[in-house]
Structure 1
Amino acid sequence: MIAPFRALLVAAALLVSPFAATAAPTEITDALGRKVAVELPAKRLVVNFNFEEFTAVAGVAGWQSVVGMSRTAWEGWRPSIFKRYTAVIPNLAAMPDVGLIEDGSFSAEKLIALKPDAFLVADWMFTALGSERERIEAAGIPILVIDYNAQILERHLASTRALGKVTGNDARAEELATFYESQYRDVLARVAKAKVARKPRTYVEVGPDGADTVGVSYATTMWGKILTLLGSENIAVGRLAGASGRMNPEAIIAADPDAIFIAGSSWANKPKAVKTGYEMSEEQTRASLAPYAARAGWADLTAVRAGNVNAIEHGLSRSLFDFVAMQYIGKRLYPEALADVDPAASFKAYHAKYLPVSYGGTWMLPLKP
């Protein structure tokens, strides 16, 4: 009777051990430095933002573990990019939607019903969630904050590594984090060595509504932080009440920027927008940018006279590939220091190595060739 009894014990151990192996949660450090316990490997994830960063780290296969997303932040805001990714990630098309705080559609009930192992959320939405955070965590759903918007190197790196940990792609994430840091530091090292008589004055504006409307500018985050990191005098600093906002048109003219960057994209239902992205030709982008240089009072601006009015993809201001934007802006401010850098080639190479969609279109260029 002893041998059969031992056999039963062994069989029972074999049944229990796979569950025991995944029962102990693993601490993951998110973008805010929070230690979040997640049971790994995570098999059910909900993704709120940074979809392209998730893809770069986890690959197409990683999306098989995604059971929900904030669709508006991708499909709604940039449908042409979403469509391109759906062609290679078929389950995106029918992905359940948990909504978005910004438009009031977010539903904690929908999120909880999906029973995810973790909720990956951008910092700005984590803040906006308020008391909903407690409801989600009380349901046993860990929240991992991912942040590329603040333009803080440490947050970029922590976010990338957190994505790697939660998806089981640590090596890939470490490669990406190391690569990003090297590109970031290379640009800043070149800028530090640039010889200029004074800091170049810069102005950035998001252009979804056309030149007749003054768009949002940035002082301390996203584009604003990038302009400051690159050693320029961002004219929005001290002229906006918060991290971002709309500048007074007269204040822009009085500040007389040396370089102007109008952020465009493939926004839906924005016919007057500055057009950038996969489907745009250089001619289309320049045609959509031209009305900005023709604004009242802009003809005598240093940037306009010098031919330094530029279109640049808004998505390049808060991503794992935003080093490309740093290269482009750096080159427009310090041509000699970045003479051998080709931002478009850098972005094409990044696509070839880390993204499942092919590079194409127009992402950044000056109004005048």
Structure 2
Amino acid sequence: MSDTALRRRQSARASFARAAALVILAFAVLWTAGPARADIRVTDVMGREVTLAKPAERVLLGFYFEDYIAITGPGAIDRLAAVSLHYWKGYRPRQYEAYLAALPKIADLVDVGDVDNGTMSVEKIVAARPDVAILSVGQIQYLGASAAQIEAAGIHIVAVDYNAQTVEKHVASTLVIGKVMGTEERAGRLARAYQAAVDDTLARVRAAGAAGKPKVYVELGQKGPREYGNSYGKGMWAGVIDLVGGANIAAGQVANWGPLNPEYVISARPDAIFVTASEWMGMPDAVVMGFGVDPALTRERLRPYLERAGWADLPAVRNGEVYAIYHGGTRSLYDYVYARFMAKVLYPQAFADVDPRAELAAYYKENLPISPDGEFMLRLEPGS
């Protein structure tokens, strides 16, 4: 073999050895690093596309606190950096206290302000350094052009919407949160359970027959019996009445919400009356119920409504169909429980085997770190 041929063969062997070494090194790196993580691509309920490198580790949560906790599961609070506190502590103070007792880290969360009081602060949001801001559609609309400042700081904004009160938006919002948090299996289970509960409710209502829909009156129980509180012509409790096959006496009387004329309520002769109640302990005349509230106090605050002028002759009052229902019982992943309670009032035979209180307790036991300690739906029994 000539010297030239020998040098060529040696060079080829060296090149092969270097290539083999690179291949081995590449496999070693892949073995050490594990499989490459694909980007997480999320399309939120506003159709906005967001790409995350990994599940969120620091979250700003604007609303839907219990839904976020249920979807994220254990460690949900550890992954929160900031909240809009007014929408939790302000609206549901005793619910907030129950979570605070179970999860003390909640006290350390940054409060970024709220939309209602015009205090939601871009500066506070940026300073909290979240990876992702999970906000309601209304909160994003409030931020407007300021949302660009948040995104410019490297914070992804994701929109969710349980306020729309549609199965589609409930399911989509649940799946979005699950994808952002890396808990897609848990989110899928919750979304399927919600869909199934609503489907079952609708099937029972259809089976009961739509003819002669019972007439329903819902009133916000903050002001007490001396002044008529808001009713709902569209959205909120109006959406629940529509879902369960009731005839809403406020439909066409108020655009969204507002008080009805007392004479009109009497003339409409509702078959069932629901006064919404919550942990409004600072309102002396409000109907109160919920976490840690004695049901006797709920009945005490509700009973004077029956003494309003003209109410004694209403079918709902004569037949003992007057109820208190938790005002926070709409626009959440377990709002089907309250819909089923209302449906059972309207169509008792179709829902004879349904126990909404037990369903609420089961939802909490399976998905949340606290128990629903208190009454969240009750009937004012005649003479009670």
Is the shorter-chain TM-score for this pair beyond 0.5, marking a shared fold? yes
1:173 maps to what in 2?
Answer: 187
CA–CA distance in structure 2, aligned partners of residues 356 and 21 of structure 1: 34
Determine if the alignment matches structure 1 residue 313 to structure 2 residue 313.
no
2:151 maps to what in 1?
Answer: 137
Determine if the alignment matches structure 1 residue 45 to structure 2 residue 59.
yes
Q: 1:34 to 1:306 in 2, by over 3 A?
A: farther
Determine if the alignment matches structure 1 residue 152 to structure 2 residue 171.
no
CA–CA distance in structure 1, aligned partners of residues 294 and 320 of structure 2: 20
Which of the residues 251, 254, 272 maps onto 2:264? 251
1:337 maps to what in 2?
Answer: 350
1:95 maps to what in 2?
Answer: 109
Post-superposition shift, 1:136?
2.3
Provide the alpha-carbon RMSD of the alignment: 2.6
Secondary structure in structure 1 of the residue aligned to 2:363: helix
Which of the residues 82, 88, 92 maps onto 1:74? 88
Cα deviations across residues 269-301 of structure 1 (Å, max 9, x unaligned)? 123221111212332221121122222222222
Post-superposition shift, 1:12?
12
Q: 1:33 to 1:252 in 2, by over 3 A?
A: farther
Secondary structure in structure 2 of the residue aligned to 1:67: strand
Q: 1:248 to 1:280 in 2, by over 3 A?
A: same
Q: 1:12 to 1:268 in 2, by over 3 A?
A: farther
Opposite residue 187 of structure 2, the aligned amino acid is A
CA–CA distance in structure 2, aligned partners of residues 21 and 137 of structure 1: 26
Opposite residue 359 of structure 1, the aligned amino acid is P
Within 5 A, what are the aligned runs for 1:208-227?
Answer: 208-227=222-241
CA–CA distance in structure 2, aligned partners of residues 249 and 130 of structure 1: 40
Which region of structure 1 is more displaced relative to structure 2, 120-129 or 218-227?
120-129
Cα deviations across residues 214-233 of structure 1 (Å, max 9, x unaligned)? 22222221211110111111
Cα deviations across residues 238-273 of structure 1 (Å, max 9, x unaligned)? 1113x2222222222222211111111113512322
2:380 maps to what in 1?
Answer: 367
CA–CA distance in structure 2, aligned partners of residues 223 and 39 of structure 1: 39
Within 5 A, what are the aligned runs for 1:281-300?
Answer: 281-300=294-313
Secondary structure in structure 2 of the residue aligned to 1:210: coil
> Identical aligned pairs, as a percentage?
43
Q: 1:29 to 1:49 in 2, by over 3 A?
A: same
CA contact 2:83–2:110 (8 Å) conserved in 1: yes
Determine if the alignment matches structure 1 residue 120 to structure 2 residue 129.
no
CA–CA distance in structure 1, aligned partners of residues 365 and 52 of structure 2: 32
CA–CA distance in structure 2, aligned partners of residues 251 and 141 of structure 1: 50
* Large movers: runs of 4+ above 4 Å: 9-14
1:357 maps to what in 2?
Answer: 370
1:164 maps to what in 2?
Answer: 178
Post-superposition shift, 1:32?
3.4
Post-superposition shift, 1:31?
2.9
Q: Is there any run of 5+ residues in structure 2 with no aligned partner, and where?
A: 1-17
CA–CA distance in structure 1, aligned partners of residues 350 and 143 of structure 2: 43
Q: Is there any run of 5+ residues in structure 1 with no aligned partner, and where?
A: none
Post-superposition shift, 1:65?
1.2
Opposite residue 146 of structure 2, the aligned amino acid is E
CA contact 1:78–1:268 (8 Å) conserved in 2: no
CA–CA distance in structure 2, aligned partners of residues 135 and 248 of structure 1: 46
CA contact 2:230–2:258 (8 Å) conserved in 1: yes
CA–CA distance in structure 2, aligned partners of residues 200 and 32 of structure 1: 36
2:73 maps to what in 1?
Answer: 59
2:14 maps to what in 1?
Answer: none
Which region of structure 1 is more displaced relative to structure 2, 315-324 or 278-287?
278-287
CA–CA distance in structure 2, aligned partners of residues 361 and 254 of structure 1: 35
Q: 1:260 to 1:124 in 2, by over 3 A?
A: farther
Which region of structure 1 is more displaced relative to structure 2, 170-179 or 297-306?
297-306
2:282 maps to what in 1?
Answer: 269
Which region of structure 1 is more displaced relative to structure 2, 191-200 or 62-71?
191-200
CA contact 1:210–1:273 (8 Å) conserved in 2: yes
CA contact 2:210–2:245 (8 Å) conserved in 1: no
| Larger-gyration structure (1/2) | 2
CA–CA distance in structure 2, aligned partners of residues 180 and 247 of structure 1: 32
Secondary structure in structure 1 of the residue aligned to 2:76: helix
Determine if the alignment matches structure 1 residue 323 to structure 2 residue 327.
no
Cα deviations across residues 136-164 of structure 1 (Å, max 9, x unaligned)? 23333222122112211000001111111
